[in-house]
Amino acid sequence: MRKFLAVPLAAVAFLSFAATITRAQEVAQTPPMGWNSWNYFASKVDDKGVRAAADEIVSTGMKDAGYIYVNIDDTWQGKRDENGVLHANEKFPDMKALADYVHSKGLKLGIYSGPGNLTCAKYAGSLGHEEQDAKTYAEWGIDYLKYDLCSFREDTMAKQAPDDKAAQMKLMHAAYEKMGKALKATGRPIVYSLCQYGWDAVWEWAPALGGNLWRTTGDIQANWNSMYTILSQQEGLQSYAGPGHWNDPDMLEVGNGRLNIHENRSHFSMWAMLAAPLLAGNDLPNMKPEVKEILTNKDVIAIDQDKLGKQASRIYSEGEVDVWERDLAGGAKAIAVLNAGSDRVATHPFHLSLEKLGLHGPQKGKDLWSGKDLTLTDNMPIELASHDILLVRIGANGQ
């Protein structure tokens, strides 16, 4: 009798384990979209600010445009109690109530931690409490975790394997794997975002650990050089992106710092070309209309969210102009012509080569910023303001 029962029970356990895995993998089938507190608010994030961001995401139409995750970054953590359970600090009086509020708006809530003792801003990390923290997040109703390496380098990697880079990297993999498993074990679908600045070719091993996205570089800043440097570093990574697992060139700086309108447009267009997560990082309650217009351009968002999930490649550069191309579902394509130069026109007049793009004959399409129809022809002159972009969708769905 005992034996008879054991088999079905094992089968049930296996099936529910398999269902858990499937659920976890189903998240982020397109690049996650939402908002994160860090780029603008940094340590000034609090419950009120997160609720205001959620309200704005709805009232500005961002939710309808696809922005769903409202992500609290560093500095929310308080102290662990006598059982090791982590509580939020006084800026977040009731995390579960906050999650309920965000969910009531049809949005999802994200949170931040790291594998070390301390996060980058020196708040409590998850070292030694991984399962416990994952359970706490699930109990609160958290839907997304950004897990940032920070002090794990000193706490563990440097201490346990001084001068042994390979051993340090193994420790890092194990730490990310541990949290990946802990999240899965909660049974709650939680997007898992790795943040370790692209070390050790993270794109090669993150998906196997349950990673849905991984930062490919150091931190972005709200200026052209930072954005353009990060953009250039995405070349060669395109084969690693796809449904459920994405390269993350960092959160958006659209509307922040010194980026002008052209630069904001180019930044947003190129993140869409890269199939990057679109996590706005600006002050939503004080967003300028032109910034809102950029962040809610549905045609550009459709490029990012295209279900094929194919990241763009830089096909060629001429002078200071870069030409990128991305394949889209249904045989369509997106083409971006970016003037990375600091002068009004590039170093010499730019003419688009369709041949270099593997295209033959005139290509009917749509200019996604003017909203107008546009036909690309071979050798056509394209004049762009400094740091501006032409983003065109051609082919099946673009006609």
* 306 among known catalytic residues: no
Cα-flanking dihedrals φ and ψ of residue 259, to 5°?
Answer: -75, 125
Comparison of 195 and 270: residue with beta carbon closer to ligand GAL = 195
Per the DSSP assignment, residues forming a β-bridge with 112 are: 146
Nearest residue to ligand GAL on Cβ basis: 120
Pairing between β-strand 278-280 and β-strand 33-36 as defined by DSSP bridges = parallel
CB 168 within 8 A of CB 161: yes
Rounded distance, CA 246 to CA 6, Å? 40
Q: What angle (nearest 5°) sits at the alpha carbon of residue 77, between those of residues 154 and 205?
A: 50
Per CB under 6 A, residues contacting ligand GAL are: 38, 73-74, 119-121, 148, 150, 195, 219
Taking the complex as a whole, the smallest distance from the CB of residue 365 to ligand GAL amounts, in Å, to 35
Comparison of 74 and 388: residue with beta carbon closer to ligand GAL = 74
Coil, helix or strand for 125?
coil
Taking the complex as a whole, the smallest distance from the CB of residue 32 to ligand GAL amounts, in Å, to 15
Rounded distance, CA 144 to CA 139, Å? 13
- How many residues appear in the chain? 399
Query: Which member of 55, 200, 219, 378 is catalytic?
Result: 219
Taking the complex as a whole, the smallest distance from the CB of residue 183 to ligand GAL amounts, in Å, to 18
Cα 101 to the center of its chain, rounded Å: 23
* 378 among known catalytic residues: no
Pairing between β-strand 313-318 and β-strand 321-327 as defined by DSSP bridges = antiparallel
Comparison of 38 and 369: residue with beta carbon closer to ligand GAL = 38
CB 178 within 8 A of CB 208: no
Comparison of 74 and 322: residue with beta carbon closer to ligand GAL = 74
Taking the complex as a whole, the smallest distance from the CB of residue 114 to ligand GAL amounts, in Å, to 8
Q: What angle (nearest 5°) sits at the alpha carbon of residue 75, between those of residues 73 and 81?
A: 120
Taking the complex as a whole, the smallest distance from the CB of residue 74 to ligand GAL amounts, in Å, to 3
Query: Which member of 148, 155, 248, 250 is catalytic?
Result: 148
Cα-flanking dihedrals φ and ψ of residue 319, to 5°?
Answer: 60, -125
Comparison of 198 and 207: residue with beta carbon closer to ligand GAL = 198
Catalytic residue annotation? 148, 219
